[in-house]
Amino acid sequence: MRLHALPANMKFFSPVALIATFFGSGLIAPASGTWGSLAAFGVGLVILSVAPASVLTAMCVAAYCLGHWAALRWTQIDAADTDPSAIVIDEVAGMWLVMVLVPFTLAAMLAAFVLFRLFDVLKPWPASWADKSLKGASGIMLDDIFAGFWAALVILAAQIYGLV
């Protein structure tokens, strides 16, 4: 295991770095997206077990808005990398999105994690469109939101057939 480096003029405890890397989880390499998703998954499980889903929904919206801001600032600081792998707040927003859209059961939550990661990697349309066509913070953030919707759609369809 190794760690990604932050841009030269960015400090770890800056708000941009803390938000974008989800408190450092995005700095773990390889597979920083998986580490960020796993961190989001753990936090999401805790929140859903002690609070109504509306709390995680609000956190998802906040993660998206703050993530867009942090990704925008990061890419302004380091314009050479248009989609830094250390930025995982997009995975956080996408993971929480799928978690609030599906039932809070063990099978659905495990499927949420696996399917979100699968769709984040495969990028089915419109995630592929967002990833390729949108530049900067919007592209960084939106492809994971679409991956979250795809994961939720598959889980909800599987629920209809009694699979989760």
For 120-149, write each residue's pLDDT tens digit: 999 999 988 988 999 889 999 999 999 999
Please state the pTM of the whole predicted model.
0.94
Mean of pLDDT over the chain: 93
For 27-72, write each residue's pLDDT tens digit: 998 999 999 999 999 999 999 999 999 999 999 999 999 999 999 9
| Mean pLDDT value across residues 16-31 | 94
Number of domains within the chain: 1
- Cβ atoms < 10 Å from Cβ of 23: 16
Q: Which two tokens stand for residue 103?
A: 């039932």
pLDDT at res. 122: 95
C-alpha to C-alpha distance for 78 and 99, rounded to whole angstroms: 32
The answer on pLDDT for 82 being more than 80 is: no
116 and 94 Cβ atoms separated by less than 8 Å: yes
Q: What angle do CA 72, 147, 112 make, to 5 degrees?
A: 120
C-alpha to C-alpha distance for 124 and 103, rounded to whole angstroms: 23
Give the list of residues 6+ apart from residue 92 with CB closer than 8 angstroms, or none. 22, 36, 37, 39, 40, 63, 67
For 106-116, write each residue's pLDDT tens digit: 999 999 999 99
Residue 140 belongs to what domain range?
2-6+13-160
Bridge partner residues of 28 (DSSP): 3
57-94 burial, b at 16+ Cβ within 10 Å, e below that, comes to: eebbeebbebbbbbbbbbbeebeeeeebebbbbbbbbb
C-alpha to C-alpha distance for 81 and 26, rounded to whole angstroms: 15
